[in-house]
Structure 1
Amino acid sequence: MNATTNNRFKKKSLALLISVALGLSGQLAAAEEVNAEDQENAEEGVPTLIITARKTEENIQRVPVSVSAITSEQIFETGIDDVTDVQFHTPNSTLQVSRATNSTLTAYIRGVGQQDPLWGFEPGVGIYIDDVYIARPQGAVMDILDIDRLEVLRGPQGTLYGKNTIGGAVKYVTREMSGDGEFSIDATIGSFNQRDAKIAAQIPIVEDQFYFGLAYASLQRDGFGNFINTGDENYNKDLTAMRASFEYRPSDSLFFRLAHDNTQDDSNARGGYRLTPSLVTAQQPYADIYDSDTSLPVFNDVETGGTSFTIDYEINDQTSIKYVWAEREGDTYTNIDFDATAVNTFDVPAVYDDEQTTHEIQVNYSAENWRAVFGYYDYQGEACGAFDVILGLAGITLENGGCVDTESSSFYGQANIELADKWSMTIGGRYTKDEKTADVYRFVFLGSVFPEDNETPIAVQSDFNGSEDWSEFTPRIGFEYQAEDDLMYYFSYAEGFKSGGFDMRANESVNPLANEPFDPELVSTYEFGFKSDWFDNNFRLNGALFYTDYEDMQVTVQRAVGQNDFATQVVNAGESEIKGMELEGLAYINDNFNLNFAIGYIDAEFVRVDFFDPNLGQTVDVSDQWVISNTPELSANVGANYTIESSMGDFSINANWAYRSKTNIFEIPSTLDMGSYSLFNIGVNWYHPEGQWKAGLHVKNAFDEEYRVAGYNFPAVFDNQGNLVAPGLGGEDTVTGFYGDPQTIALTIGYEL
């Protein structure tokens, strides 16, 4: 959030208040100290922002990796509800709710991600809670609770964060307890009968040593629409979340934390909006995009949670060691009506179950002219699931199911070396070894069958076990030039590795090679960036240019085979190229008024894609027909904040405009693709003079823009005159879309003791 300017402006060192900044300094090792000048300037204007994007405390303006961070104060002032709102404040990021879900995350950064949330597939953007990796996207659309800041790292983070961060990483950093007794409560009422309550407290058990913290949220809202044929709500919200933690500081050099979090989502399963008339019921598209029909129960149950234990010990002034243990698990039962009609033409009830255990040991060391971080990471996880494709007109059900066990371990190290007065060098690498064992089945049943049913199949289309292992070394090297105290240039080369796997939808009866594992993805990124403060620190501009060579991209393709069967293939797309730029700016007009902006541009294309077409029975190159999904060419936002001081307290007026150009939902272009759109948000916040009370009135999507974020595409085939040639899967024309939130107005009142 910065602004353009030029070199003739005099500069002074000023640290960042808001967390949208590009460019990081190459000291990926021990915590960077905040120097005396930084501290002095923090009093003058913009406070210094310290982040832990690279697992150590650093001034965000002193390190060379593209990063944005949004503080808890900004989250309140701008009315951010969950992580998906962050895409409208950061460049080249797509963070969406996946298809027919309420809390499953589809995440893309710089054109790299994973649009298929099925168990067994790995994400391309890593999600973390206090450095604990969240392996599955289910439940990853976490609402804001007890948070200090959100950090969004762009580009491959293969050295410090390891596999499955080839696009970048999103970190939830929770509040560290102050040691004092604290209590806060926020209550929100708003459109569609929104009624939220958030409570947070911390209690000192032993003064200055042992503390207990608790946060709880209940988030309720009626639906944006309805299931017309049943009267149930569609796009409603019924969610509870909690976090509890103990922190113990027996001395200044030793810290312990035990934390547990849990989220329960009982919102109704979402129904899609039909973009075409139904071939079965003749139902026309409804007038309201949030209205739907369903032949399934709307029951949906998603529960995720975990426990972590952290020890941080400062051995001496040069060396510290940190150990993090964590266990997490998630359970999902959901009902997805693909065709969105009152007839069970194409219904998919599904269950998911996953659990993981991780260990990480990290050592930070600093010497006179170099600093380094070394570590070991171990991951053990199991992901299981089953889904039933009920084809009511054919009187059959196709059930896919199975489990994937993953063992992953890695060693990593990275150092920053001072080469000369203004030059430094970053060098590091990570060695990762993955082992996966999978069992996959696909059965055909008569009638309508649900995952919990115990029926006898009439046919077996797949039934196999597979095991494979992969290993990869991912280096990082960079050079930094601190031209002046407030002007830094950097260049870096980094690689990322995303694990291979097995297709959990494999249909050997159609594709005999479906039981073979697919390969890992590899990303190599070159980046040149800069960080700068200008015009007596009233203007800040940070920017980056990047080029990414993307090999063996894992693309999941599903195609109907006739009306009563379908085949999937996880294609290791031969090669793609992604290049682009990012600018973030912040302009402080005076103490009461500031402006910010972010611009992201991406030029992404497939170079070669070898795809086995089940209808043709052969492999073809379709690179000229495919596009990079969930990646608008241009994303931009402009924001403004104006503060009015009065005897009644301070009033802060916030406005934000965000633009996204055309976005392809899948790799194959279709009528689901979303054209360009803009969103405008505005809010007014009030702060009591004594600091205990605050309030915020926020209008989001003020002009009620309709924008599609996901969908299902199993279309019928029509000729040039619009005559039906062949129905799609299940005998239907299934083209259904899912949409972002409409205009909402919410009033939040908070009290802090």
Structure 2
Amino acid sequence: MNAIPLNPTTRPRTRLALAIAAALACATTAPVMAQEAATQGQSAQADEEATELGTVVVTANKRVENVREVAAAISVIGERELENIGANSLADYADLVPGMQVQDNGTAGMTSISIRGIAAISSGATVSTYVDEVPVGSSGVYQAANIFNLDLLPYDISRIEVLRGPQGTLYGAGAIGGLLKYVTREPSLSATEFRVGAGLSSVQEGDQGWNVRLGASLPLQQDRLGLRLSYARNEVPGYTDNMVDGERDINGARQTSARAALLWEGESVDVKLAALHQGMESDTSASVALDPATGAPIGGDFEGRSWQPQPFTKDLDLYSLTLDWDLGWGDFVSATGWSNTDTMYQLDASVQFGEFANLQLGLPEAGASHVRYTLDLEKFTQEFRLSSKSGGRFEWQAGVFHSREDAIQSQFVPLMQRDGSPLPAPFDEMFGVLAVIDLPSEYRETALFVNGSLRVGERFKIDAGLRQARNDQWFSQNVPAGVLAPIGDVPGESEEDVSTWSLAPQYQFSEDTMVYARVATGYQPGGPNVALPGMPPSVDSSMLRSAEVGLKTQFADRRVQLDLAAFRIDWDDIQVAAQFNGIGGLINGGEATSEGVELSAFLRPTNRLQLGLNATYTDATVKSDFESTVIPQPGFDVILNTGLAGDRLPYVPKLAWSATAEYLFDIGRVQGQVGAVLRGMGERLNDTTERQRITMPGDASTILDEVLTAPIELDAYHAVDLYAGIEWDHWSVRAYVNNVTDERAWSIISPINSALTGVTDHWSGVPIQPRTFGLEVDYRF
């Protein structure tokens, strides 16, 4: 999160003890195969939308296509898969997508996504997120898009499409790693549908949860006008405790989803109007206090250490209007979107800043503190797109896209006594508020894009695309009160012109076998930077080039399906956080490469048994030392490198895989299935290496001291999920057990350090979900 003043999760980067003089910091810290069985058990409407003659249809390239004929690596997760595993958030199904990793920061809605090694190491997004035709989330660097990705409660979702590799030509800013697209259920125009359901869940050594949901499709005018309504509420059970006050199961959460969609299908014009609300409220994020010397829990297996509450809330309101006009010779699409996102996240910062009370003010003991981040984003997007009809020798597409974002990020940092009471007079008036900082920002982008597909003969096809974009940004660093940052307003602005392109030839050996190559580029917008010593006034865009070759094939009467892809990515001008004792901003660090191989295999030995395997090998490393930042201090300089040549990129395992098995059965009028998912995650590193050199002022050659801080290693793990379900008449019942063996492992680990002394008090680890039981019942009529 760029330009957040205080970084409670920063690891100890130096032994130097500095009083807090300023505080602007960065808080950054298989596919499930697209097979014909993916939609079994869904409603006829869902089958009609997602399949055709056993073929999965995707819209990720902004036209309806058979996923087997697209020259790109695409994964599709259907509604049925999401229901079977009891998915509530991204972290629940990310392991099923090759090359995709999700770091769970402790609750749904606080997630970081990386695809093919393009790690979320700055405050901007590396994966673009869409709901149908509309992008959501910020393209700028001041809304913490890296850790607050859209994490929909996956109800009333027809499917989720994941495109791997840069998607800059069609999706523009922030799609350097790929695209995550939620495709919602459409209203039925011919039949009335109702669905109601409820469920219970229980976490090992934790609390119990429940959920309710309902949905309806109402044809208002036969074959012309339809309305779809849905609502879901999920009470997520907590399972972590707080060793400071003894509270138990404190990380419970509430998710709500409400949606209304109105669809009109005319003779040549279709119009869809939709409104969606997603709400997330968490009492505190899941965290466990770990011993830095051993990595083992200090207390119980699920005990954290915090002196202040750590609530999290996020509310998204999204409105969209899509017009599809059949011109006869082509199609015109207008996609309009408006969204408002309000996020509040509070972190306990007693370890980081509590020592200000005793070390700076001379009070008898350390105090308590927290950092409250409030982020408000209003986003408007408009896309006009003109496409030729599909199926011709030459297909083309041209469009214009405009985005406008108005946002503000605010921080509030109080200081109090350790028990939460105010500081004694006169310190309460003088130092009761350490920082109040507002960071308003604006982001404007306009882009033109064209794509074309040329067929040469019956077997060869080549796709090409080009996008030209311009973004203009403004921001201001406003400090109205506090003692940690200088009072005043410091504005900044930037502008960029960026071109991205793609080229993808493919050859169809037969109806069921295709090979392709794809070369593409993408970018992550830069922007004006915080006003700090050693920080540049603005940070440039990160640029990425990717080369990929792939094979998609089916054989043995289409009972075996195989997707294989190899890729190499060169990432330049990487935006990274440069931090020193609570002082930080963004810089363009340097270069990295990511190379790997992805495998997706699906086997159906019988009509009742299906097996799947997804695996990815990724080698993502820093190519050369990141650019250094010179931070002047009284009497010396600090030369800071936040990544060294050969470092692995954070939270990218070399090997990750999942294996799936499902058996279908019939007993009289009852149809059912039993299934299992085995997930494997290799070891990861939580950060890159940091090097701090202490030199004479203005003399980098005279090194007085050097400190290297190595990243923390997270162990490999594997977990097993089981599920079963039956359906008869209008009823369906599903049961699942996730993490059957109750594997104990970590999604992320962050050191908790004193900002004054640099001493590490403990590590904070977010565990993977413990063993969880669930039972779901639905009635459709």
Tell me how far apart the structure 2 counterparts of residues 488 and 631 of structure 1 sit (CA, whole Å).
Answer: 29
Structure 1 residue 408: Cα displacement: 0.4
State the one-letter code of the partner of 1:263: Q
Give the conservation status (yes or no) of the 8 Å contact 2:434–2:484. Answer: no
Change (3 A) 1:627 1:3: closer
Q: 1:61 aligns with which of 68, 75, 99?
A: 68
Structure 1 residue 94 and structure 2 residue 124: aligned?
Answer: no
Report the equivalent of 2:382: 359
Tell me how far apart the structure 2 counterparts of residues 221 and 61 of structure 1 sit (CA, whole Å).
Answer: 37
Change (3 A) 1:387 1:716: closer
Structure 1 residue 131: Cα displacement: 2.1
**SS in structure 1 of the partner of residue 266 of structure 2:** strand
**SS in structure 2 of the partner of residue 49 of structure 1:** strand
Report the number of matched residues: 677
Give the conservation status (yes or no) of the 8 Å contact 1:102–1:270. Answer: no
**SS in structure 1 of the partner of residue 80 of structure 2:** helix
Q: 1:181 aligns with which of 181, 192, 196?
A: 192
Structure 1 residue 548 and structure 2 residue 569: aligned?
Answer: yes
Structure 1 residues 268-312: Cα deviation after superposition (integer angstroms, max 9, x where no partner): 13253222389xxxxx95433432243323443321111111101
Structure 1 residue 423 and structure 2 residue 460: aligned?
Answer: yes
Structure 1 residue 747 and structure 2 residue 775: aligned?
Answer: yes
**SS in structure 2 of the partner of residue 234 of structure 1:** coil
Structure 1 residue 233: Cα displacement: 4.0
Tell me how far apart the structure 1 counterparts of residues 743 and 640 of structure 2 sit (CA, whole Å).
Answer: 41
Give the conservation status (yes or no) of the 8 Å contact 1:256–1:312. Answer: yes
Structure 1 residue 376 and structure 2 residue 400: aligned?
Answer: yes
Q: 1:518 aligns with which of 539, 542, 547?
A: 539
Tell me how far apart the structure 2 counterparts of residues 133 and 479 of structure 1 sit (CA, whole Å).
Answer: 28
State the one-letter code of the partner of 2:395: R
Deviates more, 1:63-72 or 1:707-716: 707-716
Tell me how far apart the structure 1 counterparts of residues 273 and 465 of structure 2 sit (CA, whole Å).
Answer: 31
Report the equivalent of 1:611: 628
Q: 1:49 aligns with which of 43, 56, 63?
A: 56
Structure 1 residues 545-565: Cα deviation after superposition (integer angstroms, max 9, x where no partner): 1111100111124332xxxxx
Structure 1 residue 501 and structure 2 residue 527: aligned?
Answer: yes
Change (3 A) 1:340 1:736: farther
State the one-letter code of the partner of 2:309: P
Give the conservation status (yes or no) of the 8 Å contact 1:727–1:733. Answer: no
State the one-letter code of the partner of 1:705: E
RMSD: 2.8
Tell me how far apart the structure 1 counterparts of residues 95 and 306 of structure 2 sit (CA, whole Å).
Answer: 32
Give the conservation status (yes or no) of the 8 Å contact 1:277–1:285. Answer: no
**SS in structure 2 of the partner of residue 380 of structure 1:** strand
Give the conservation status (yes or no) of the 8 Å contact 1:122–1:135. Answer: no
**SS in structure 1 of the partner of residue 168 of structure 2:** coil
**SS in structure 2 of the partner of residue 112 of structure 1:** coil
Tell me how far apart the structure 1 counterparts of residues 351 and 605 of structure 2 sit (CA, whole Å).
Answer: 51
Gaps of 5+ in 2: 1-29, 40-47, 139-144, 355-365, 418-430, 690-708
Structure 1 residue 469 and structure 2 residue 491: aligned?
Answer: no
Change (3 A) 1:208 1:421: closer
State the one-letter code of the partner of 1:352: L
Q: 1:675 aligns with which of 711, 715, 721?
A: 715
**SS in structure 2 of the partner of residue 111 of structure 1:** coil
Give the conservation status (yes or no) of the 8 Å contact 1:223–1:233. Answer: yes
Tell me how far apart the structure 2 counterparts of residues 309 and 401 of structure 1 sit (CA, whole Å).
Answer: 33
Structure 1 residue 257 and structure 2 residue 272: aligned?
Answer: yes
**SS in structure 2 of the partner of residue 589 of structure 1:** coil
Aligned-pair identity in percent equals 21
Structure 1 residue 736: Cα displacement: 1.5
TM-score (norm 1): 0.85
Tell me how far apart the structure 2 counterparts of residues 702 and 518 of structure 1 sit (CA, whole Å).
Answer: 46
Report the equivalent of 2:230: 215
Give the conservation status (yes or no) of the 8 Å contact 1:406–1:435. Answer: yes
Report the equivalent of 1:573: 589
Structure 1 residue 673: Cα displacement: 3.4
Give the conservation status (yes or no) of the 8 Å contact 1:411–1:431. Answer: yes
Structure 1 residues 521-541: Cα deviation after superposition (integer angstroms, max 9, x where no partner): 101001110111122222111
Structure-to-structure mapping, 1:432-511, within 5 angstroms = 432-442=469-479, 445=482, 457=483, 460=486, 463-503=489-529, 506=530, 508=532, 511=533
Structure 1 residue 643: Cα displacement: 1.3
Structure-to-structure mapping, 1:684-699, within 5 angstroms = 684-688=724-728, 690=729, 692-699=730-737
Give the conservation status (yes or no) of the 8 Å contact 2:308–2:350. Answer: no
Structure-to-structure mapping, 1:103-114, within 5 angstroms = 103-114=109-120
Tell me how far apart the structure 1 counterparts of residues 180 and 286 of structure 2 sit (CA, whole Å).
Answer: 28
Report the equivalent of 1:152: 162
Structure 1 residue 463: Cα displacement: 3.9
Tell me how far apart the structure 2 counterparts of residues 306 and 127 of structure 1 sit (CA, whole Å).
Answer: 13
Change (3 A) 1:580 1:671: closer
Give the conservation status (yes or no) of the 8 Å contact 1:345–1:732. Answer: no
State the one-letter code of the partner of 1:71: G
Report the equivalent of 1:23: none
Structure 1 residues 398-440: Cα deviation after superposition (integer angstroms, max 9, x where no partner): 4443122000010111111012332111111100111110101
Tell me how far apart the structure 1 counterparts of residues 152 and 370 of structure 2 sit (CA, whole Å).
Answer: 27
Structure 1 residues 17-41: Cα deviation after superposition (integer angstroms, max 9, x where no partner): 449xxxxxxxxxxxxx99xxx96xx
Deviates more, 1:543-552 or 1:602-611: 602-611
Structure 1 residues 723-746: Cα deviation after superposition (integer angstroms, max 9, x where no partner): xxx832xx6625322222111000
Report the equivalent of 1:538: 559
State the one-letter code of the partner of 1:172: Y
Tell me how far apart the structure 1 counterparts of residues 35 and 99 of structure 2 sit (CA, whole Å).
Answer: 24
Change (3 A) 1:620 1:558: closer
Gaps of 5+ in 1: 5-13, 20-32, 279-283, 446-456, 561-565, 718-725
Give the conservation status (yes or no) of the 8 Å contact 2:436–2:479. Answer: yes
Tell me how far apart the structure 2 counterparts of residues 741 and 620 of structure 1 sit (CA, whole Å).
Answer: 35
Q: 2:740 aligns with which of 702, 727, 750?
A: 702
TM-score (norm 2): 0.82
Give the conservation status (yes or no) of the 8 Å contact 2:187–2:262. Answer: no
**SS in structure 2 of the partner of residue 477 of structure 1:** strand
Structure 1 residue 87: Cα displacement: 1.5
Give the conservation status (yes or no) of the 8 Å contact 1:547–1:578. Answer: yes
Structure 1 residues 537-590: Cα deviation after superposition (integer angstroms, max 9, x where no partner): 221111111111100111124332xxxxx1113131211111111010000010
Report the equivalent of 2:90: 83
State the one-letter code of the partner of 1:749: V
Give the conservation status (yes or no) of the 8 Å contact 2:281–2:314. Answer: yes
Tell me how far apart the structure 1 counterparts of residues 595 and 502 of structure 2 sit (CA, whole Å).
Answer: 19
Structure 1 residue 380: Cα displacement: 0.0
Change (3 A) 1:15 1:145: closer
State the one-letter code of the partner of 1:70: I
State the one-letter code of the partner of 2:180: V
Structure 1 residue 56: Cα displacement: 1.0
Report the equivalent of 2:550: 529
Deviates more, 1:420-429 or 1:432-441: 420-429
Structure 1 residue 53: Cα displacement: 1.2
Structure 1 residue 346: Cα displacement: 5.2
Give the conservation status (yes or no) of the 8 Å contact 1:640–1:654. Answer: yes
Change (3 A) 1:716 1:240: closer
Change (3 A) 1:319 1:230: same
Deviates more, 1:160-169 or 1:296-305: 296-305
Give the conservation status (yes or no) of the 8 Å contact 1:649–1:686. Answer: yes
Structure 1 residue 104: Cα displacement: 2.5
Change (3 A) 1:101 1:590: closer
Tell me how far apart the structure 2 counterparts of residues 269 and 140 of structure 1 sit (CA, whole Å).
Answer: 19
Give the conservation status (yes or no) of the 8 Å contact 1:443–1:459. Answer: no
State the one-letter code of the partner of 2:613: F
Structure 1 residue 270 and structure 2 residue 282: aligned?
Answer: no
Tell me how far apart the structure 2 counterparts of residues 403 and 734 of structure 1 sit (CA, whole Å).
Answer: 34
Tell me how far apart the structure 2 counterparts of residues 630 and 463 of structure 1 sit (CA, whole Å).
Answer: 36
Change (3 A) 1:658 1:183: same
State the one-letter code of the partner of 1:549: D
State the one-letter code of the partner of 1:235: N
Structure 1 residues 601-629: Cα deviation after superposition (integer angstroms, max 9, x where no partner): 11111112112154743365842374311
